[in-house]
Amino acid sequence: MPQPTPTDNSLPLKTSGYRSLAEALDYASRGATGCNFYDGRGKLQCALTYTELRHKAQDLAARLHGMGLERGSRIALVADTHPDFPVFFFACQYAGLVPVPLPAAVHLGGREAFVAHLRAMLEDCQARAAFAPENFAGFLEEASVGRGLALSGTLDAFMRLEPAASLPPPPRPDELAYLQYTSGSTRFPRGTMITQEAVLDNLAGILQFGVQIRRGDRFMSWLPYYHDMGLVGLILGPVISQLSVDYLGTREFAMRPRLWLNLMSRNRSTISFSPPFGYALCARRLRPSDLEKFDLSAWRVAGVGAEMIRAAWLQGFADALQPAGFDRSAFLPCYGMAECSLAVSFAPLGQGLETDRLDAERLAGERIAEPANPAAADRRVTEFVNCGRPLPGFEVEIRKGDGQLAAERECGVIHLRGKSVMSGYANNADATAAALDSKGWLNTGDVGYRAGDALFITGRAKDLLIINGRNIWPQDLEYVAEQQPEVRAEDASAFAIPGEDGSEVAVLVVQCREQDSFRQAALVERLKQRIQSEFGIACLIELVPLHTLPRTSSGKLSRSGARLDFLKRNDLQDRPILPRELVQRTPHTEAAEPSGN
């Protein structure tokens, strides 16, 4: 029976000074730490020390090099939580090839949709070979037909290749380390080109200034390997810092989220990250009897990012787990994106959640983040979480619609420049030109403001609703729905569609667990009244079955996908909605029968 790799390591801690990811693994392999893989019942299936990882990666690298592929060729990797993935990823580093992690998630579209998604990605990245673990090999085989790949299959297929006599020269700092696909909710996902020096610079900032790594730390992760937080933060981060890490599969976490806490307790893990919905899901599944099983007192960094941070979800998690030793000051809000390797900013370590409560009317009408007046009870309030100070080396500008710099507490689009920023989008010159200007500034597409040296994110520019000349954030409408007893977190998606007179019409699609038609109608009317009262706008409400709202490959709700599905369901793809249809289509109770759990 395997034993987990140790937390303590005799190797001197080192987080920077590497010329490549391969060199970082060379150093980590001199110690005793490594990565550990647990199944859906919390049983350790594999313990892979960094010494073993390096040996296996170099062995595979010799076989990849023996294929005679041009240096820098793309190797697609279906990125399931499996020991073969890091072996393949680092083998590419040693072989002078570029790994391309692909999603390992068969969504509700089923096999056909997933295969089509893989096929499109293989074409987009111009892959020369492709790997998948056994449980995804059939999907990859089908997606690879006609692609002209030199080889496609499991690790065993590649290990049957003849190895080259020697390995090629190690990667240069300016060579690509990998392609990272964005989750992409409005267009087909785009592959960000990340160089060795870009990701190493970002990791040094994360480890030294973000989580402030120390001896005795231990990572824990259930995040997907194909997501930037999972790949960079929780695969590369442990290697760069020579720390042990424990992995639970994303699907296993979704089915048994309490396993996350169980493994954190058992292994005395100190660092783990999650999007807000992960904390909310975990808190929702807790039972009172669980608390005596957990000891979370070692958890010093509970990172939170990857989507808009909702303080209420995290406070609920902290309240529920406080008896098990969870310290709410461990919350570490952060902001980042694949286009910047991973992280841009971190809140101060140990501060926990700090929120900025704003006058929602001033924000909507003038885009000014004015602190709310506690005495003005008649004014609507909205709040945002402090995402902290940018990492050293980042330049940050908040720009208004006319391109001018925004003043402090004035909202605008966030632009970034620094060594961690991508080289561009692979094989997509138009998208690269739209995102990166000639001076190296990246248009993030995110809207936010500065308050002192702190950065606050208010949403995505593309998601903003402009109704009757007012700026409405979709998460505000979604929050109203989630406060209803019939609706849970992430059961609502808000967006706008065109109206007959050229204006925008707000739409709120809600996954409904209630089956009684009278109660459905009451929920719709309650939502319409609340939104009219709080925001002064009319809103079309549609109730749909559970599991209807689409998600991106990283698990986030896709508002653009929900909008497209709504238009298709209601036959509105090619025309605006008419005023009479606002009444006729509300509520959409015929779609409200739950389809299951």
Tell me which residue range forms the domain holding 257: 21-346
Question: Burial level of 561, CB count in 10 A (0-12/13-18/19+)?
Answer: middle
Q: What was the pLDDT predicted at 436?
A: 93
User: HEC string of 213-233?
Assistant: CCCCCCEEECCCCCCHHHHHH
* Domain containing residue 304: CATH number: 3.40.50.12780
Q: Could you tell me if residue 251 is inside a domain? A: yes
Does residue 409 or residue 312 have the better pLDDT?
409
Q: How far apart are the first and last CA of the chain?
A: 35
Find the helix or strand (DSSP H, E) in which 267 lies: helix 258-267
Task: Determine the pLDDT at residue 597.
Answer: 30
In a domain, 16, yes or no: no
pLDDT of residue 594: 32
User: Which residues have CB under 8 Å from 306's CB, separation 6+?
Assistant: 227, 229, 275, 554, 556
Q: What is the DSSP string of 241-258?
A: HT--EEEE-HHHHHH-TH
User: Amino acid identity, residue 587?
Assistant: P
Q: In the predicted model, what is the mean pLDDT of residues 304-328?
A: 90
Within-domain flag for 426: no
Q: Do 342 and 468 share a domain, yes or no?
A: no
Interhelix angle 84-95/21-28, nearest 10 degrees: 120
How do residues 495-551 score in pLDDT, each as one tens digit? 888 776 566 788 999 998 888 888 888 899 999 888 887 777 888 899 999 888 887
Residue 591 banded pLDDT, cuts 50, 70, 90 = very low
- Average of per-residue pLDDT across 198-216: 96
Residues 334-368: pLDDT tens digits?
Answer: 999 999 999 999 999 999 999 999 988 888 778 89
Domain co-membership, 114 together with 242: yes
The pLDDT, as a whole number, for residue 537 is: 82
The pLDDT score that the predictor gives to residue 596 is: 33
Which of 331, 346, 361 finishes a domain? Answer: 346
User: Is residue 5 included in any domain, yes or no?
Assistant: no
Domain count, the chain: 2
Work out the burial of residue 125: count CB atoms within 10 Å of its CB; fewer than 13 is exposed, 13-18 middle, 19 or more buried. Answer: buried
User: For the domain that residue 497 is a member of, what is the CATH number?
Assistant: 3.30.300.30
User: Which pLDDT score, from 0 to 100, does residue 171 have?
Assistant: 94
Decide if 412 contacts 449 (C-beta within 8 A).
yes
Q: Same structural domain for residues 80 and 224?
A: yes
Measuring CA to CA, how many Å separate 47 from each of 53, 124, 140, 247, 418? 10, 34, 26, 10, 37
Does residue 336 belong to any structural domain of this protein? Answer: yes
- The mean pLDDT of the chain is 88
> Domain boundary at 316, 346, 376, which?
346
pLDDT, residue 351, reads: 93
Instruction: Please give the distance of CA 388 from its chain centroid, rounded to a whole number.
Output: 18
| Residue 512 CB neighbour total at 10 angstroms | 29
- Final residue before a domain boundary, out of 346, 361, 392: 346
- Does residue 437 form part of some domain? no
Structural tokens at position 371: 């602190």
Question: pTM for the full model?
Answer: 0.83
Element (H, E) at 436: none
DSSP state of 328: G
Strand partners, 470: 467
For residue 105, being part of any structural domain is answered with yes
Is residue 432, in this structure, part of any structural domain at all?
no
- Note the pLDDT tens digit of each residue in 139-149: 999 999 999 99
Query: What pLDDT is stored for residue 167 in this prediction?
Result: 96
Q: Which amino acid is at 562?
A: A
The two counts, helices (H) then strands (E), for the chain are 19, 27
DSSP state of 4: P
